[in-house]
Amino acid sequence: MSASAQVVPPGAAARAAVPRHVAVVMDGNGRWARQRFMPRFFGHKAGVDALVRAVNLFADRGVEYLTVFAFSSENWKRPSEEVSGLMSLVLVAVSKYLTKLAGDGVRIRIVGDRSAVSDKLRQAWAQAEELTRANSRITLAVAFNYGGRWDVVQACRQALAEGVAPADFDEAYLSSRMSLAFAPDPDLFIRTGGEMRMSNFMLWQAAYSELFFTECLWPDFGTAEIDAALEAYAQRDRRFGAIRPPVVVDGD
Ligand code: FPP
């Protein structure tokens, strides 16, 4: 090593500037509405607008997949007016924004248990997926009636139905049957609204995701917050359980 050699901190070389896949728990719509003395539904409506803005902002920054938690398997426990309000909001959102998102190069995919939603909603999802099938700027995966545990169970059920031998059943096999098998695991997991938990979102896929929690309520999550999250991610040292020896850079 020459006198001017520098030791670069471990991990510096492994910093990936832009996450390929970002997962988001869009929390805080209700509080955002309450702060404005408005009903919760008003917050969810603003949440949809924030999502349409966010998908384009993430795409502009090079993110390839954005997966958002729109309705969890547990959200059925909310008051029935809120549940039906969210269902109709999705239908309105599809008719209001589908053409725009399709024109923006967004591919839409829906993940979750479709068996419990109305025929109308199933048709709207199918239409959104079909219309955007050829788009490749960014994939927006909408997790609807989704739960991380549900996903593991449905993947195991497929494996059992396929009669897989225990010796052939491994992580790769299970991953290939998960509802997000079309995407790489999320690099960055964001939760807005100040809570610091995963709430049964992408439990299998987020094993090595970098976590980012912000007080910002989802309808306010815009350019500055997206850039702050991506900047925080760029500073992280991802080791996936390994250790990294210091990188030696020789000076002249
Ligand atoms: C959490 O905020 C938010 C939700 C349960 C729903 C998020 C849904 C959307 C933004 C609409 C998605 C629509 C489409 C078309 C994808 P909260 O109600 O728990 O807020 P709080 O914690 O402040 O009460």
Report how far ligand 1's centroid is from the alpha carbon of 159 (Å): 32
Which of these is catalytic: 56, 75, 135, 200? 75
- At 82-107, the pLDDT tens digits run 999 999 999 999 999 999 999 999 99
CATH topology of domain 25-232: Undecaprenyl pyrophosphate synthetase (3.40.1180)
- At 122-158, the pLDDT tens digits run 999 999 999 999 999 999 999 999 999 999 999 999 9
75 noted as active-site residue: yes
27 noted as active-site residue: yes
**Residue indicated by tokens 């030791």:** 7
Domain ranges for the chain, please list them: 25-232
- At 169-214, the pLDDT tens digits run 999 999 999 999 999 999 999 999 999 999 999 999 999 999 999 9
From the CA of 195, give the closest atom in ligand 1. Answer: 22
Residue 14 has pLDDT above 60, yes or no: no
Tell me how long the chain is: 252
Considering only CA atoms, which residue is closest to atom 7 of ligand 1? 70
- Say whether pTM exceeds 0.95: no
The rounded Cα 33 to chain-centroid distance in angstroms is: 23
Instruction: Tell me which residues have their CB closer than 6 angstroms to ligand 1.
Output: 26-31, 44, 47-48, 51, 70, 75, 90, 93, 142, 193
- CA neighbor of 139 nearest in space, from 128, 147, 149: 128
Residue 178 per-residue DSSP state: S
Report how far ligand 1's centroid is from the alpha carbon of 102 (Å): 23
Specify whether the CB–CB gap between 140 and 68 falls below 8 A.
yes
Considering only CA atoms, which residue is closest to atom 15 of ligand 1? 90
Q: Tell me how far apart the alpha carbons of residues 104 and 87 are, in angstroms, rounded to a whole number.
A: 24
